Amino acid sequence: MQERNEPEWLAELPLTGGPVVRFRHVRPDDEPLITDAIRTASRETLLHRFFSPIRSVSPSMLRQMLAIDRAKETCIVGVTKEQGAARMVCGARYVKLPAGEAAEFAITVHDDFQRRGLGKFLLKLLAGLAVAEGIQRFEADVMNSNQKMLNLFRKATSSRAGWHRTEDIHHVVLELSTLTNQESGLIP
Ligand SMILES: CC(C)(COP(=O)(O)OP(=O)(O)OC[C@H]1O[C@@H](n2cnc3c(N)ncnc32)[C@H](O)[C@@H]1OP(=O)(O)O)[C@@H](O)C(=O)NCCC(=O)NCCS
């Protein structure tokens, strides 16, 4: 839910050749946009994001995705306008871990918009918001088959401290101080 005095748009990124993607916190009325994004995503994207090739989400899971307790978690989405209609093209979320200095983190970019810089941009944008809340690092479990995400993380940091690999996943740790020196993309 948008909070009082909070500007709706956090940032925007004009993609080369269009369109412009605008970023804001997720809202409960985003349900149809998220449902559509999941319905039209590839099996691989859904598998890598949810660790299961879901095609739709149950009403209870949707409610959980949209009812954000901002004291504990942050979820931002990227939206375009196509022929006057809004489309959700990407999203990213972090959930604070109990100690409060770290958060679990995930990004999703719709297949139609991948490899155009949105993943990199979302990581910086979310890192800027997390640092402002006192969070020092992001942690994520990434499937070993998910080379796209692993490449993104490898490029984002030179440190592999805390990274470990099991049979199925990489546990990845990103120290945010190493990321946020760059332009965050936040609209002042
Ligand atoms: C992983 C993901 C978020 C990347 O988003 P994206 O917008 O395509 O990423 P970007 O365009 O910003 O690319 C950033 C870097 O990621 C890596 N990358 C992205 N797509 C890649 C691909 N197809 N092959 C190899 N590396 C790739 C590259 O290192 C790239 O940097 P480069 O373009 O300078 O080489 C996107 O593919 C996705 O949503 N995948 C499905 C969901 C998922 O896996 N989420 C992660 C859960 S933790």
Q: What residue spans define the domains of the chain? A: 11-136
Q: Is 115 in the pocket of ligand 1 (CB under 6 A)?
A: yes
4 falls in which pLDDT band (50, 70, 90)?
Answer: very low
Which residue among 43, 54, 115, 172 has the greatest number of ligand 1 atoms within 8 angstroms of its CB, and so is best to mutate?
Answer: 115
Q: Is 52 helix (H, G, I), strand (E, B) or coil?
A: coil
Quote the pTM value: 0.93
pLDDT at 7 over 70: no
64 falls in which pLDDT band (50, 70, 90)?
Answer: confident
Q: Is 126 in the pocket of ligand 1 (CB under 6 A)?
A: no
Cβ 75 vs Cβ 95: under 8 Å: no
Q: Is 146 in the pocket of ligand 1 (CB under 6 A)?
A: yes
pLDDT at 184 over 70: no
Q: Which amino acid is at 11?
A: A
Torsion-angle region of residue 115: left (phi > 0), alpha (psi -120 to 50) or beta?
left
Q: Is 122 in the pocket of ligand 1 (CB under 6 A)?
A: no
Per the structure block, which two tokens stand in for 11? 């940032």
- Identify the pLDDT of residue 55: 77
What distance in angstroms lies between residue 85's CA and the mean position of ligand 1's atoms?
26
Compute how many other C-beta atoms are within 10 angstroms of the C-beta atom of residue 159.
Answer: 10
Indicate the CATH number of 11-136 among 3.30.565.10, 3.40.630.30, 3.20.19.10, 3.90.1150.10.
3.40.630.30
Average pLDDT over residues 110-118: 97
